[in-house]
Every structure is written in C-alpha cells, then in structure tokens.
Structure 1
Amino acid sequence: MGFMAGFFGGFTLTASVLYLSVQVHRSTRLAQRDAIREQVEILNDISSPLGAYYRRFAEDDDLQKSRIVPPPKKPSAEELLKQQWNKEVKALAQKTFTLGWQDVTNTANEVTRVISELVKRQ
C-alpha cells in the first residue's frame, strides 16, 4: 500500500504543480495581450494624422471624450484560477451524476480479480 500511496501522491502533486503553472502562465499572457492592445491603441491615436492637419476631419470633442472611458476591470490571476477550478469541479460533478455506479463496481471487481490472478501466478 505504501508504494501505491506514494505513487498517487507524487502524481497528484506533480499534476497540481503543472496545472497551476500553466494557469499562471495563461493569466500572465492574457494580461500582456491586453496591455499591448491598449498601448497600440494609444500609439495609433497619437500618431494618427487624421485631424492634425485637416480640422474638418477631426473628431468632435464630445466624441473624443466619450472614447476615453476607464478600461474595464480585468480579472486577476486568482479570479481566473478560481473560475477555471469551478468549471472543472462542475464538470466532475456532472460526470459523477451521470455515471453508472454499477459499471464502476463491475470494473473495480474485474480489476481486482485480474490483479489477484497476476499476484497468485508469481
């Protein structure tokens, strides 16, 4: 029993660390994407010659003021991880409700029988 507990404990720890590192990388990448898009939009607004020389093409002040709105609140990495965790828990719960427990019992009995036969042969 010690080997199996150690094996599954190590597997669980490794899978958890990999999962968390992938989620942190994803949230960082999304934050960088949003920051770059915002910077590109600012640079385009600054460098756009439209209205700089031709006032008749310039946007109205009201339009410019309405375009300057505070950016929407971006979810933090913690919130993204919580959302992902909740999605996975929900999927596992739905799978549990739809699972036929008789099939699980039969499969477990079959696995136990095969393992016991293998152990008896050796």
Structure 2
Amino acid sequence: MTKHKIYTMSVASVYPHYVAKAEKKGRTKTEVDQIVRWLTGYSQEELEAQLKNQTDFETFFAEAPQLNPSRAMIKGVICGVRVEEIEEPIMQEIRYLDKLIDELAKGKAMEKILRNLK
C-alpha cells in the first residue's frame, strides 16, 4: 500500500496555512504553536527546529516527544471523516491537529481546545 501524500509533506509547508486560518479569525500564531506543543510534546524550540528542517508529517509525529494522552478526547468530523474512527495512527494524529486548528478558528476557548478538565 502506498503512503498517503500528506505523510511525505513537510509540516512547514502546511503550518503557514494553520496560522493564516487562525489569524483570519482573530486568533494568533502563539495559539497555533500552543496547540501543536500540547498535542506533540515538542518545546517551542523543538517545534521551530522541526519547521526549519522541513520535517515531514510522518517523522514529525513519529518523533514527537510525548503525544498528549488527552488527545483521545478529540472528537468530531474533519474532511468528512470522524477523527475518532480513523484507524491509521499517523493519519489520526494529523487529523487531530487539523481538528484542533479548526476549533481555534471557530473561536473555541483554549481551555476547551486543550481538553483541560476541571
């Protein structure tokens, strides 16, 4: 089976689109970075290095320091598919990120996006 095209795309090639989507709705690059760090466990410096190195999505998630266990609480539809039902692990991680950025652009509070339980 051939890999999906997005696996070999660099995160840096998509990242500006995440930021633009957020900024268009009055959110910030800082919030986008916070979401990526929450999901992957990368520090800000590590995230910037991954972007600078043009790391592909498959490697980006495979090398993530600590995928957040609360990401399993991310539910909903992105690109017509329920994220919680995606069976391919890397694709599910990519769609989790897409879903979180979508929630940011829709004005959801950061506490809810980051699944902070109180």
Shorter-chain-normalised TM-score: which range?
Answer: under 0.3
Q: Which has the higher contact order (CA 8 A, sep 6+)?
A: 2
Scaled by the length of structure 1, the TM-score of the pair is 0.23
> Which structure has greater helix proportion?
1
The structure with the larger Rg is: 1
Scaled by the length of structure 2, the TM-score of the pair is 0.24
